[in-house]
Amino acid sequence: MRDHPLFLNAGNAGPFTLDGTRTYLVGRDTVAIIDPGPDVEDHVRALACAVAAAADVKIVLTHGHPDHAGAVRALAERTGASVYGPDGIGDVTQVIRDGDRIETDQGSLVAVHTPGHTREHLCLLWVERSALFAGDHLLGQGDTTWVAEYPGCVADYLSSLERLRTLDLDVVYPAHGPPLQDPTAAIDRFDHHRRARIRQVEEALARHPTADARRLLEVVYGDSLPRGMESPALQSLGALLEYVRDLRPS
């Protein structure tokens, strides 16, 4: 049976966060806290208690969204931890880039730049366990994650999925949802979903060449769109339209 890392759930369940943000702890005396989650007092207090006996504490961010990084300042103040993360995120004191290592007494975490969900997004490869902390690049349930934040995000996301295929992985730990015990199948599933959406947009544009995202909403999603998800779906379609019209390789 696999020895999974300790995690604490922030309790912020929702449509995008599934069961909530899972904050992982790697190490005991020299410990990394991966994605401390939203600024929720109970969660911050529980994390501080969990690492109270550690001699060296590092906070490590995969990206800057509030459900991952909101608790950084409060937790750093309580623990005295340095904050490691991608360039451009507030409160980061140690910028990490692709290939950089963070050491714990349970092994090394290697930064893997995986843009798509956000431009700066990093996954963290736990070398000794052949495990990946995936942030929001992959979720523990379903077949899709949010990819609509910046121009070029769809192309970046597909390239990042291909990069993950080059890693020797036994398990993936998403920030939302349970572990992915078959990394290859998970990568295939998320890749298939994104490419299926691309094909839907291409087919819709063949019938409606001048259509914008709102016109395509009904064509692509039909009546399958959950209540309250129209705005995110429109943004996602906008990113897909950009990819199909401007960025898709010929």
Q: Assess whether pLDDT exceeds 90 at residue 7.
A: yes
Domain for residue 198, yes or no? no
Domain for residue 218, yes or no? no
The pLDDT, as a whole number, for residue 152 is 96
- Percent of the chain with pLDDT strictly greater than 90: 83
Number of domains in the chain: 1
- Phi, psi dihedrals of residue 238, rounded to the nearest 5°: -60, -40
Closest Cα to residue 32, out of 12, 61, 9? 61
Domain for residue 164, yes or no? yes
Q: What mean pLDDT, rounded, does the chain reach? A: 94
Which residues on neighbouring strands pair with residue 18, listed in sequence order? 14
Q: 54-82 burial, b if ≥16 CB within 10 A, otherwise e? A: bebbbbbbbbbbebbbbbbbbbbebbebe
Range of weakest confidence among 49-58, 87-96, 138-147, 217-226: 217-226
Q: What is the DSSP string of 219-230?
A: HHHTT-SPTT-H
Domain for residue 148, yes or no? yes
Closest Cα to residue 108, out of 94, 92, 124, 84? 124
Domain for residue 117, yes or no? yes
Domain for residue 1, yes or no? no
The pLDDT, as a whole number, for residue 247 is 64
Domain for residue 238, yes or no? no
CA–CA dist 176, 53 (Å, integer) = 27
Instruction: State which residues form the domain around 104.
Output: 6-182
Note the pLDDT tens digit of each residue in 98-147.
999 999 999 999 999 999 999 999 999 999 999 999 999 999 999 999 99
Mean pLDDT of 212-234: 81
The pLDDT, as a whole number, for residue 1 is 44
CATH of the domain at 128: 3.60.15.10
The pLDDT, as a whole number, for residue 2 is 61
Domain for residue 196, yes or no? no
